[in-house]
Chains A and B, each alone.
Chain A
């Protein structure tokens, strides 16, 4: 099993550009989520999904869109990048209930918005 994979590992964008961060898992997990990690702030939940076709907002959803067309994939879209979105982004998955099941994290995408 590859676990949770994320692409790209690094990305530099200019303000106003759009892009999609890819996340895939091969463990048949129902629950997937996106976090952003900023210094001194820990991880903050952006969006999450409890299964294909079902998504919901987390703590900091503004400026991001998600969709879940398959169990395996959960892409995160930045609609119009802003410098405030410079961060490290982590995707995670768990079998069902994120709050009791172990979450498995991808290696992260380091995004810089100029």
Chain B
């Protein structure tokens, strides 16, 4: 079975500074990878996903992530954050042979300060 580890539970960052959220996964087979964001008191929404092809994936709101197969990682980055990026971020993984089950990490809370 696949699993996901988000290495940081909380990341405080100043406005306009860069941020990186780390995600590692374990799986013996090919995977699909996702980052979802949850703003306060809302449901989750997709930021970006890696299915195949280029290992650098660009998403909404200026976020991007890089798939590194050798290091089994899918780290999320943004070069300059805004106050509105304060949210909880979830990494998720699924094996390509299973159509229906996503495994989510525990989440990383990003707090952006002025």
Contacts and interface: CB of A to CB of B under 8 A. Distances in A.
B46 A97 contact: no
Nearest to B51: A100
Interface string A13-45: 000000000000000000101010000111111
B43 A107 contact: yes
Nearest to A102: B46
Interface stretch (B11-19, B76-84, B95-103): B95-103
Contacts of B106: 40-42
Nearest to A3: B43
Interface in A56-94: 56, 58-59, 90, 92
A43 B23 CA distance: 15
Given A31-B100, A42-B105, A99-B98, A108 B51 contact: no
